[in-house]
């Protein structure tokens, strides 16, 4: 099984690539029609949430930088 990648784009969406499924809070699966890559909205402006429709352009600024989370609590 290949690894699923999640990429936090500069000033934009969260890109997900690989073998994945996306479910709503009730466990219903979105029909992705065979897509193996797509963008998820993180700005809140998309009219197609949870998917990115490009509405963030010129309205959302964030330059992600990777960091380590603190250790999990035992």
The answer on pLDDT for 51 being more than 60 is yes
26 is a domain residue: yes
The total number of structural domains that make up the chain: 1
Q: What is the pLDDT of residue 59?
A: 87
Q: Average pLDDT, stretch 32-39?
A: 96
66 is a domain residue: no
Q: Which range of residues forms the domain containing residue 26?
A: 1-58
pLDDT bin (cut points 50, 70, 90) of residue 61 is: very high
9 is a domain residue: yes
Q: Average pLDDT, stretch 17-34?
A: 97
- Sheet with 5-8, edge to edge strand ranges: 5-8, 14-17, 37-40
Q: What is the pLDDT of residue 8?
A: 97
């Amino acid at each position: 099984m290949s690894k699923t990648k999640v990429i936090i784009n500069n000033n934009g969406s969260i890109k997900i690539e690989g073998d994945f499924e996306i479910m709503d809070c009730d466990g219903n699966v979105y029909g992705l029609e065979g897509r193996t890559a797509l963008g998820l909205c993180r700005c809140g402006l998309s009219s197609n949430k949870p998917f990115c429709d490009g509405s963030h352009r010129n309205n959302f600024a964030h330059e992600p930088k990777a960091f380590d989370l603190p250790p999990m609590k035992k």
